[in-house]
Chains A and B, each alone.
Chain A
Amino acid sequence: MSFNWAKPYEPKSPFMKWLDERLPLPRLAYGAVGGGYPVPRNLNYWWNFGFSAGIFLTIQIITGIVLAMHYYATTDGAFNSVNQLIMRDVNAGWLLRYAHMNGASFFFIAVYIHIFRGLYYGSYKAPRELVWMLGLVIYLLMMATAFMGYVLPWGQMSYWGAQVITGFFSAFPLVGEPIRVWLLGGYAPDEAALTRFFSLHYLLPFVIAAVVILHIWALHIPGSGNPTGVDVKDEKDTLPFHPFYTAKDGWFVGAFLLVYAVVTFYAPNYLGHPDNYIPANPLATPAEIVPEWYFWPFYAILRSFTFDFILPAKLWGVLAMFASILLLFFLPWLDRSPVRSGSYRPVFQRFFWLLVLDVLLLGWAGGGAPTPLRNAIGQICGAYYFLHFLVILPIVSRLETPLPLPNSITESVLHGEAAEAAPAGQAKKRGGSVATAAAE
């Protein structure tokens, strides 16, 4: 799709030839994730998390469909169908449920690393702005899906999570409360809310899968980025996706799944909250309400507004939380440095790691009861989060002197052997080369 040296699809058997003329689906797959997609040869392990995230989406869809066969979406039946029927009575139900529970967490782990990879290596910069924005759409859909999924077991955290999150909408003046009642189909989370959350929790993963296809499609127009951020210049800079990156991704996903299996088997409830094993009680709030770990940083931003300032504190909290994500849609235009990779931006690099630390601290601040220390850390780190994107990035990208970039990907890979590197401007050159020969 992206480079003119991409190997064209050649059906081998007569059947594949017959099929290709009628429905060129294998041709599409070959060009997207097969030998027909040239990928920069210097990708490091940080580039394996997108593929891993795709695997976890698949795991979630498969385990989810099976779990839905045994789940009752009623306020009387939900808790028991999960904790008695699925966990004890259904054959292998415990495994499927723990796999689904922890699969959500590992999906988020993969996606968070994938996002921070993009932040460090400037993957959001031209010409890949839409890849980045579609990724953010996937992330938002994931958050909605995860939230609604967490409500389904109808435990205490499920119920009060639903109450708090739909409560966000009541922060908006006038329209807020009617919207909240409309979303819940009642005045508090109940039967109507539970059944609609189940319906949407089943639907959204397929919407995510569709946006993933758009995400990959948009990526394949310019082709994958790489750790140097230097554009691909000729065939020597790339390797075909299959077998090189299918092998590397496959190996890596195996290792990643091993960690997932260890958690699923030995600490299946480590990432969850024990209160969700208490059936939902609309008359008693748990001593502390905390969301799942992957929402902690946003939860910290939400509750970091404790005083009114023109608008009520509650509305500020909700606006800041939504803004913290929507802000990322403007990132391609906030960071104006022409150098993509953080490896060649010494000042940016330091601020990047500061941001990582900042988000981790925000997570800590949002993950527990609101003590004065947690509130203070949440306020400072929340403010710094916005400062990083709105002030520091634009200024750094203007003032910073980047390090010299390599002339090409090949040069950066071969280190001292610059003489072998292709000079710039030969991207149009055709014909077989060392890399393709090696690929075959």
Chain B
Amino acid sequence: MATKAQSAEVSSTAGEGDEGVRRRDFLNVAAVSFAGVGGLAALAPLIVQMSPSADVLALATTEVDISKVQPGQGIKTQWRKQPIFVRNLTPKEMQEADAVSLSDLRDKQTLAERTKPGHKNWLITLGVCTHLGCVPLGIGEGENKGPYGGYFCPCHGSMYDTAGRIRQGPAPLNLQVPEYKFTSPTTVQIG
């Protein structure tokens, strides 16, 4: 009874042009908020359905046999539908990569930071140019490796060195190193 009298009082003052909260205002705000929260909740499935589905995520790890890759060679494989470059660096290529001073690099990383301890000759990167996602050349026999002996992206001319680091061209970052581990001396599990 008390609340009723109170609100009646409030609404009567509001009716005279004061800024009091009327019962109707409260109901309006409550109703619209309720519908709004419901609307937002309904939006959630419409947004999450766009994210990678379970079958796409299920391809999260890939095993690669690297026993046949000789120094100076490389193979191209796939992980999560993206190309992966596995390259067995020659001692000369490793020397070249180590000889570069970090201050000359756009994305400062040493070859050792980009490989696993004890496996410094195995350079494993995504074969996806960090500019706009083309596949750089240089992994296959006879492909253009670019002036730095690593990879060359034909789309917009990004040039990578023997450690897969960006040296020249529009790409902002080094070729990405995926998560991986050596499950045996000749097998790598990516992802």
Q: Chain B at the A interface: mostly helix, strand, loop or mixed?
A: loop
- Tell me whether B106 and A170 are in contact (CB under 8 A): no
A308 touches which of B76, B130, B172 (Cβ 8 Å) = B172
| Interface check B78, CB cutoff 8 A | yes
- Tell me whether B170 and A306 are in contact (CB under 8 A): yes
| Interface check B72, CB cutoff 8 A | no
Chain B binder among A121-129, A185-193, A225-233, A399-407: A185-193
In the bound assembly, the distance between CA atoms of A53 and B80 in angstroms comes to: 42
In the bound assembly, the distance between CA atoms of A167 and B136 in angstroms comes to: 15
Task: Point out the residues of chain A lying under 8 angstroms from B136, CB to CB.
Answer: 285
- Tell me whether B134 and A285 are in contact (CB under 8 A): yes
Known: A185-B53, A370-B156. A168 touches B135 (CB 8 A): no
- Tell me whether A303 and B52 are in contact (CB under 8 A): no
In residues 268-319 of chain A, which contact B (Cβ within 8 Å)? 282-289, 303, 305-306, 308, 312-315, 317
- Tell me whether B170 and A182 are in contact (CB under 8 A): no
CB distance from B135 to the nearest CB of A (A): 4
- Tell me whether B134 and A283 are in contact (CB under 8 A): no
In residues 58-100 of chain B, which contact A (Cβ within 8 Å)? 76, 78, 80-83
CB distance from B143 to the nearest CB of A (A): 10
Complex: chain B residue closest to A315, CB-CB: B172
- Tell me whether B155 and A181 are in contact (CB under 8 A): no
Q: How would residues 362 to 373 of chain A score, 1 for a CB under 8 Å from any chain B CB and 0 otherwise?
A: 000000011000
Known: A168-B132, A282-B78, A283-B78. A305 touches B52 (CB 8 A): no
Task: Point out the residues of chain A lying under 8 angstroms from B82, CB to CB.
Answer: 187-188, 282
Q: Chain A at the B interface: mostly helix, strand, loop or mixed?
A: loop
- Tell me whether A186 and B56 are in contact (CB under 8 A): yes
CB distance from B35 to the nearest CB of A (A): 25
| Interface check A144, CB cutoff 8 A | no
| Interface check A164, CB cutoff 8 A | yes
CB distance from A321 to the nearest CB of B (A): 12
- Tell me whether B135 and A285 are in contact (CB under 8 A): yes
Known: A163-B132, A163-B134. A186 touches B81 (CB 8 A): yes
A314 touches which of B137, B153, B171 (Cβ 8 Å) = B171
Residues of B within 8 A of A (CB): 50-53, 56, 76, 78, 80-83, 106, 127-128, 130-137, 153-157, 169-172
Residues of A within 8 A of B (CB): 160, 163-164, 166-168, 170, 181-183, 185-188, 190, 192, 196, 282-289, 303, 305-306, 308, 312-315, 317, 369-370
Name 15 extra pairs, CB < 8 A, besides A181-B51, A282-B81, A369-B154: A166-B133, A167-B131, A187-B82, A188-B81, A282-B78, A282-B82, A283-B78, A283-B127, A285-B154, A289-B155, A306-B170, A313-B170, A313-B172, A314-B131, A317-B170
Counting from the closest, the 10 A-B pairs by CB-CB distance are: A312-B172, A167-B132, A167-B133, A285-B134, A285-B135, A164-B132, A163-B133, A187-B80, A188-B81, A186-B56
